[in-house]
Amino acid sequence: MLSPSTARFSLRPATAADATVTAAVEIRSWRACYRGLIPDRVLDAMSHGARTHAHRRLIGERNGLHLVATDTTHHDVVGFCHAGPARRPGPWAWEVYTIYLEHHARWHGIGREMFEQVFAWVRPRTPPSLIVWVLEANHHARRFYEALGGRAAHQTPSSVGGFPVVEQAYVWDRVAAAR
């Protein structure tokens, strides 16, 4: 249930039919958020077809939580979140794979609400621990995860489109309600 401040938006489970639009939201979000952090050539080369395929595959995984945020005024998808079993070895059982919002939909509490639903989904699972990976240079996202009670854990070198980056882990050792 979204709070009155987010009444313009609603959350619902994602379906395979959402994959095309969530892929487009992801690409626009990456290009807005990561410009200056990742080379333009990498951002401009993002393939809508490849991202659609990835979203369709994720949404098809029955052991995950897949949400879309819609603008109730314009009836369009403005964000999404995919979570499921952790993909890397470690003590955290569950992972938020992706969470992105259109630029105009930020600062309305939608991201927090998506995380609240992830927390509610993880709490009854064993163990109720969660991890999310973020680019170390993405200070906005890092502050968001810290505000939700995430603890900065280890970092790992990675790459995006062949460009070297550092990924920062944020963890919740025991999921509780967001702050």
Q: What is the pLDDT along the chain (179 residues), one digit of tens a residue?
A: 444 445 789 999 999 999 999 999 999 999 999 999 999 999 999 999 999 999 999 999 889 999 999 998 888 999 999 999 999 988 899 999 999 999 888 888 999 999 999 999 999 998 899 999 999 999 999 999 999 999 999 999 999 999 999 999 999 998 865 54
- Name the 3-class secondary structure at 115: helix
Contacts of 42 (CB under 8 A, 6+ apart): 160, 161, 162, 163
Measure the CA dihedral 83/101/165/172, to 10°: -40
Report the distance separating Cα 13 and Cα 80, nearest Å: 9
Instruction: Answer whether residue 117 is part of any domain.
Output: yes
Is residue 74 one of the residues assigned to a domain?
yes
Residue 124 is assigned to a structural domain of this protein: yes
**What integer pLDDT is reported at residue 4 of this predicted model?**
43
Q: What is the pTM of this model?
A: 0.90
- Contact status, residue 52 vs residue 20, Cβ threshold 8 Å: yes
Cα separation, 103 vs 18, in Å, equals 19
Is there a domain that residue 131 lies in? yes
Report the alpha-carbon distance of residue 108 to residue 95 in Å, rounded.
23
Tally the domains of the chain: 1
Residue 131: which of 82, 177, 81, 171 has the closest Cα?
Answer: 171
Q: What is the pLDDT of residue 177?
A: 54
CATH number at residue 140: 3.40.630.30
